Amino acid sequence: MAKEFEITDQMRAVIGIESPPWTHEVTTTSVRAFARGVGYTDPVYFDIEAAKAAGYKSLPAPPSYMGTAVFIPGKSNDTFSGPNRGGPSLKHGLPGLLDGGTETEYFGQICAGDELTVVSKLTDLTVRESGSLGKMLITTNETTYTNQDGELVARQRGQAIFY
């Protein structure tokens, strides 16, 4: 439990730096697997004809499914498959991590066959105190998803809580 913690200038310097662009693929297999995994039964996630009858160009990506990051050995993060940043990283020294939640704003359809370009950046750092965890660092990240036609189709804002 951290009794004292402050955001440094070095940490603030990371705010706004974008990750390298990365590709996420949305395939029929991945849409079906995600939908099945979370318990969806709507035929639009499994049957292309049902999806087209409902107005989609192919199987729609279920809510919160943003495709699968393309893994490239030596260039990808071994845990999350996205790019190894290569630039400055946020060095805070806090060992604990909690998911602070994610919100997604959609601007267009995401369907099987789409190839999304994904870019993330740190947008905010905040310190708060918890009675049980002590000082916590709350980071906010923003990730944009642009399809193969150059259209912004989604934006996610997520928080991580380090303690």
Query: Would you kindly state where each structural domain of the chain is located, as residue ranges?
Result: 9-162
- Reference 104, options 59, 56, 142; nearest CA is 142
Give CATH for domain 9-162: 3.10.129.10
Give the separation between CA 18 and CA 29, rounded to whole angstroms: 30
pLDDT in tens, 12-63: 999 999 999 999 999 999 999 999 999 999 999 999 999 999 999 999 999 9
Reported as a pLDDT band with limits 50, 70 and 90, residue 1 is: confident
pLDDT at 55: 98
- Reference 93, options 36, 47, 137, 139; nearest CA is 137
pLDDT at 35: 98
The answer on pLDDT for 2 being more than 80 is no
Write out the two tokens for 123: 């947008």
pLDDT in tens, 57-111: 999 999 999 999 999 998 888 887 888 765 568 889 999 999 999 999 999 999 9
Q: What number of CA atoms fall less than 13 Å from residue 113's CA on the CB side?
A: 9
Give the separation between CA 54 and CA 9, rounded to whole angstroms: 51
